[in-house]
Structure 1
Amino acid sequence: MKSICVFCGANFNGDPVLKQSVEQLAEIMVSRDITLVYGGGKVGVMGILADAVMGRGGKVIGVIPQFLMDKEVGHTGITELRIVENMHQRKQLMNDLCDAIIMLPGGFGTLEEFFEVLTWLQLGLHNHPVGILNTNGFYDNLLKQMDVMVEQRYLKPTNRALVISSADPVELISLMDKIEIKPDEVWFMDRNLT
């Protein structure tokens, strides 16, 4: 992996465990010369992660729509800041620039971004591994809901298995680095859900 797209919140709840986890993620990315691709913000978890990578001498590419730049939330202290017209272009460019995708704690926007690119993976539109950094069990209920989708036959077990999760950034990166996505095995229209 040469670049990882990270979806995360524009807010930060002050959790020291989350901050430490973000710092660890930054450390492993920089130590492995992995470029951070993210939403381009200077606030919240986004800003903490970008600053942590930059502070360690890493490379950070931010992608932000013009309307958020107009609100002065764009991070101008990163390696490269790309400004796009809208949120759709933002997600597409972030996906195009990365080799893998990780979701950290966040709100509606974080979930929306993650599930759209996860759906693209399911449809065979890319083959990037996707992971969830499940700090402090933040996404436990979401992961359980994915299991319910399998139990209720709305999601194939092979597609559920596409989502890698760990509370440990080092383990998460290691697991994602080993996975090989085979689009022909995840095609969503296969009606055999058992």
Structure 2
Amino acid sequence: MVSERPYAVCVYCSASTADQALLALAARVGTEIARRGWQLVSGGGHVSMMGAVATGARAGGAHTIGVIPKHLVHQEVADVDADELIVTDTMRQRKQVMEDRADAFLTLPGGIGTLEEFFETWTGGYLGQHDKPVVVLDADGFFRGLFSWLDELYDREFVSQSARDRITVANDLAAAFAALNPGAAREP
């Protein structure tokens, strides 16, 4: 008997921070993915928050899928412990594979790479390319400045209400996972 694959959450997060509180948050996210019987799709690095999410997920028995472009294999120390490690030629291919393999997206604190992934996923959902949940875990107000700026863009009519509605901003792990839940998908 063939079983349906587990629900897959793609997590975007830092591959460079050494902030212990953020590393612990990432590990808790991985643990929660495993506790729910879901699988993890990540950027395929075994460092910083990216590594902590994957390690936490695997420790709980979750299937992990790492997707990394070949030019980052050594820089981000490829997650060779991943159940599936997919090496792509380019960053664009990496993002496409991650999007295709995921049922939902969770953005944790990170830098420009994390933001770029978040914006592309958000835009794809807004444009109807997918109806998957897009969730931002705003731990300790990390994204406060970003969302203040997005509010200004809304006020100046550069961002529509329907675009804003494609994002769920959660302040804690419980709210983030409630929004990621399989039934949380929105209509495009």
Q: TM-score, normalised by structure 2?
A: 0.91
Q: How does 1:1-194 map to 2 (within 5 A)?
A: 2-16=7-21, 18-71=22-75, 73-177=77-181, 178-183=183-188
Amino-acid identity (%): 34
Instruction: For 2:71 and 2:27, locate their aligned partners in 1 and report how far apart those are by CA, in whole Å.
Output: 29
Contact 1:164 1:176 in 2 (8 A): no
Distance change (3 Å), C-alpha of 1:72 and 1:157: closer
**Structure 1 residue 72, shift from structure 2 partner:** 6.2
Deviations 1:22-79 (A, max 9, x none): 2322222111111110100011110111111111221110000111124462110121
Return closer, same or farther for 1:72/1:115 CA change in 2, 3 Å cut-off: closer
**Amino acid across the alignment from 1:136:** D
Distance in 1 between residues matched to 2:131 and 2:142, nearest whole Å: 26
Q: State the one-letter code of the partner of 1:73.
A: V
Which ranges in structure 1 are unaligned for 5 or more consecutive residues? 184-194
Matched residues, number:
182
Moved over 4 A (4+): none
Q: Which runs of 5+ in 2 are unaligned?
A: 1-5
| Aligned counterpart, 1:189 | none
Contact persistence 1:102–1:132 (CA under 8 A): yes
Which residue identity does 1:173 align to in structure 2? F
Partner SS state of residue 132, structure 2: coil
Q: Deviations over 1:87-113 (max 9, x none)?
A: 000000000000000111111111011
Q: CA RMSD in A?
A: 1.5
Are 1:21 and 1:168, in contact at CA under 8 Å, matched by a contact in 2?
no
Q: Which moved more, 1:39-48 or 1:24-33?
A: 24-33
Q: Please tell me whether the aligned partners of residues 28 and 170 of structure 1 are also in contact (alpha carbons under 8 angstroms).
A: no
